[in-house]
Every structure is written in C-alpha cells, then in structure tokens.
C-alpha cells in the first residue's frame, strides 16, 4: 500500500512529466518548421518518452491502491530564438525534473516507503542519462556554434545520439 504523502508527491510529479512531454512536443514542432530534420525526430521521440514516464507513474499509483490524477494540458512555450535556446531549456527542464524525483526519494526514506524507493530508482538513473544527453548537446553548441554549416553538423550529431539511445531498453 502506498504511503499517502508519497502518493501526493507522485501525483505532483505526474504533472511535471506531462508538462515535459508537451514542452518537447512544442520543441519538435519548432524544429520541424525550422527545418532541422534529425532534431525534429529527436524531440518527437523525447515527447513520447516523457509521456511514457507519466504513464509509468500513473500505473504505479493505481496498481498500489492509490489514485492517479491526470493533469490538465498546460500551454507550452512555442517560440524560440534558436536551437541553442531549445537545448538550454531542455536541460533546465531535466534538472527541475531530477530535483522533483530526488525529493520523492527523500520522502520515501522519511516515510519508510521502501517499495517506492525501489521503483523510483529507475527514474533516478533515467534523469542522470537525460541530463548528460542535453549537457553533451549544450557542449557541442558551445564548441561549434549554430551558424550556417554548424547547424548541419549539430543535426548530424543529434542523429548519432538518436541511434545511440534507440538501442537502450526502456
Ligand atoms: Fe521524464
Ligand atoms: Fe526527460
């Protein structure tokens, strides 16, 4: 049985995963309009991934005698200066999500909810991977810039990242 405080914290976190999914959807759409083909696919995939995270949490709550709440759709930011801004905001979003996951870990500890401690570890690892992914993109942009041919190089790098992450079991 799920601890009530933990249940509330997971429900609050469900909102963050839903918002992240929607934010990445808006970023994918921006990339598509801008013409960055690989970045477009990458961000559509990210959006699906975040929805998957949300579902994982919804089902965990419901399967453990709790009640999951489905959040309203928040309007995401749709206009961006450049792909650099998109990547910056992605990393910021991931850092905020990580913080929220870590708060759940701390709460589980405090409430001695060891089942959820175990369950939430998957998210702890996932967040490490996500942060590192967006940090590497940010580094790339810092090194090559986003002018002219650099944009094509960056899009190619994103293609490689897509291949690298596609083989990982989810
Ligand atoms: Fe997520
Ligand atoms: Fe994420």
Residue 58: its pLDDT value, please?
98
> Which pLDDT score, from 0 to 100, does residue 62 have?
98
User: What's the CA-to-centroid distance between 126 and ligand 1, angstroms?
Assistant: 8
Inform me whether the pLDDT recorded for 170 exceeds 50.
no
Cβ–Cβ < 8 Å for 29, 78: yes
- Mean pLDDT computed over 4-25: 98
CA of 34 to the centre of ligand 2 (A): 23
Output the domain CATH number for residue 162: 1.20.1260.10
What's the pLDDT score for residue 70?
97
Q: What percent of the chain has pLDDT over 70?
A: 97
Ligand with smallest separation from the Cα of 24: 2
Question: Which residue matches tokens 């949490």?
Answer: 57
Instruction: Flag whether pLDDT at 34 surpasses 80.
Output: yes
Our count of domains for the chain comes to: 1
Over residues 108-162, the pLDDT tens digits come to 999 999 999 999 999 999 999 999 999 999 999 999 999 999 999 999 999 988 8
> For residue 153, how far is its CA from the centre of ligand 1 (angstroms)?
27
147 CA to middle of ligand 1, Å?
30
Looking from the CA of 84 toward its CB, the CA atoms found within 13 Å total 12
Extract long-range pairs of 78-86: CB within 8 Å, 24+ residues apart.
78/26, 78/29, 78/30, 79/30, 80/27, 80/30, 82/146, 83/31, 83/34, 83/36, 83/39, 83/141, 83/146, 83/151, 83/154, 84/141, 84/146, 86/27, 86/30, 86/31, 86/39, 86/43
Q: How far apart are CA 65 and CA 168, in angstroms?
A: 31
**Span from the CA of 94 to the centroid of ligand 2 (angstroms):** 5
Q: Which of 57, 52, 53, 46 is nearest to 23 (CA)?
A: 46
The CA 25 to ligand 2 mean position distance, Å, reads: 12
Please give the residue range of the domain that contains residue 71. Answer: 4-166
* Average pLDDT of the residues of the chain: 95
Confidence of residue 168 (pLDDT cuts 50, 70, 90): low
Predicted confidence band at 167 (pLDDT cuts at 50, 70, 90)?
low
């Amino acid at each position: 049985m799920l601890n009530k405080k933990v249940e509330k914290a997971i429900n609050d976190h469900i909102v963050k995963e839903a918002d992240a999914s929607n934010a990445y959807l808006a970023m994918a759409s921006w990339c598509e309009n801008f013409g960055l083909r690989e970045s477009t696919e990458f961000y559509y995939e990210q959006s699906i991934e975040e929805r998957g995270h949300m579902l994982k949490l919804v089902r965990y709550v419901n399967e453990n005698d709790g009640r999951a709440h489905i959040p309203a759709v928040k309007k995401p930011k749709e206009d961006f200066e450049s792909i650099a801004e998109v990547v910056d905001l992605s990393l910021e979003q991931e850092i905020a999500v990580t913080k929220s996951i870590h708060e759940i870990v701390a709460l589980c500890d405090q409430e001695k909810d060891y089942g959820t401690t175990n369950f939430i570890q998957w998210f702890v690892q996932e967040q490490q991977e996500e942060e590192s992914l967006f940090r590497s993109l940010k580094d790339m942009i810092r090194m090559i810039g986003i002018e002219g041919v650099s944009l094509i190089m960056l899009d190619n790098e994103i293609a490689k990242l897509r291949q690298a992450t596609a083989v990982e079991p989810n």
